[in-house]
């Protein structure tokens, strides 16, 4: 490898992953105690340094795979965080990504192995460096995206009730929605299919189960909630 730019200071590059899940009608993220200095023992997102032989996306995908054991996770870049004093150890610029997973798909064994916990988005403690700012920005991006793209289905099981879907939108946006208006708009969308199955676990009366039709969505250019 040739050696150029010797006259310039080197900067470390890392990725930090904000992993969102939805459980018990709450939007949650995975966080754990930092196991390295500086900041050992502080609450933190899960991340790592970018290797010389990988792109930013590849580094984020590797980090997500290490933590969750899941492939083909929905992932999107949040942005760069590069305040000079953001890391007391070295000059580190971090690229944050957010990912959406179904909590039920995440192995309890892996969660314990990595020492991470699901925490309600409204109850996040103060975390290392600028990690709280990363989470806040990621949530705003999801709030914007969920209006025109059904990314929330990544957080739900394959079959879900309309109540579960409404609770998801309320959790992401942090505010209640009118039930009648919400269901009217949802039922007008061809890519949300009603099945013949009934959910009797979360509803005493029994609620119809729905599924998301990705093919129908790609053909629907008018979606806006």
Interval 36-55: pLDDT, tens: 999 999 999 999 999 999 99
C-alpha dist (Å) from residue 96 to 3, 45, 46, 184, 216: 29, 10, 10, 36, 31
Are 189 and 223 within 8 A, CB to CB?
A: yes
- 75-90 confidence digits (pLDDT tens): 999 999 999 999 999 9
- Which residues, listed in sequence order, are joined to residue 23 by a DSSP beta bridge? 26
Percentage of the chain beyond pLDDT 70 is: 94
Whether pLDDT at 74 is above 60: yes
pLDDT band for position 106 (cuts 50, 70, 90): very high
Lookup result for tokens 């310039």: 8
User: Which two structure tokens, joined as six digits, stand for 22?
Assistant: 């939805």
User: Which two structure tokens, joined as six digits, stand for 68?
Assistant: 């969750």
Whether pLDDT at 223 is above 70: no
Lookup result for tokens 């009603």: 194
- Cα separation, 136 vs 107, in Å, equals 26
Whether pLDDT at 66 is above 80: yes
């Amino acid at each position: 490898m040739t050696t150029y730019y010797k006259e310039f200071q080197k900067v470390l590059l890392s990725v930090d992953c904000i992993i969102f899940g939805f459980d018990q009608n709450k939007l949650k993220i995975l966080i754990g105690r930092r196991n390295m200095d500086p900041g050992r023992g502080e609450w933190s997102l899960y991340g790592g340094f970018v290797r010389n032989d990988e792109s930013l996306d590849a580094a984020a995908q590797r980090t997500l795979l290490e933590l969750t054991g899941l492939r083909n996770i929905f992932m999107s870049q949040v942005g760069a965080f590069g305040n000079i004093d953001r890391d007391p150890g070295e000059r580190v610029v971090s690229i944050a990504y957010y990912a959406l997973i179904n909590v039920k798909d995440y192995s309890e064994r892996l969660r314990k192995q990595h020492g991470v916990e699901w925490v309600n988005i409204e109850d996040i403690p103060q975390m290392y460096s600028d990690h709280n700012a990363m989470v806040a920005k990621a949530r705003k991006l999801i709030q914007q995206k969920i209006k025109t793209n059904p990314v929330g289905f990544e957080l739900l099981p394959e079959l879900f009730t309309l109540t579960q879907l409404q609770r998801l939108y309320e959790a992401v946006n942090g505010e209640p929605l009118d039930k009648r208006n919400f269901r009217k708009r949802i039922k007008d969308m061809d890519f949300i299919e009603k099945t013949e199955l009934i959910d009797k676990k979360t509803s005493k009366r029994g609620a119809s189960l729905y599924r998301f039709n990705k093919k129908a969505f790609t053909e629907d250019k008018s979606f806006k909630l």
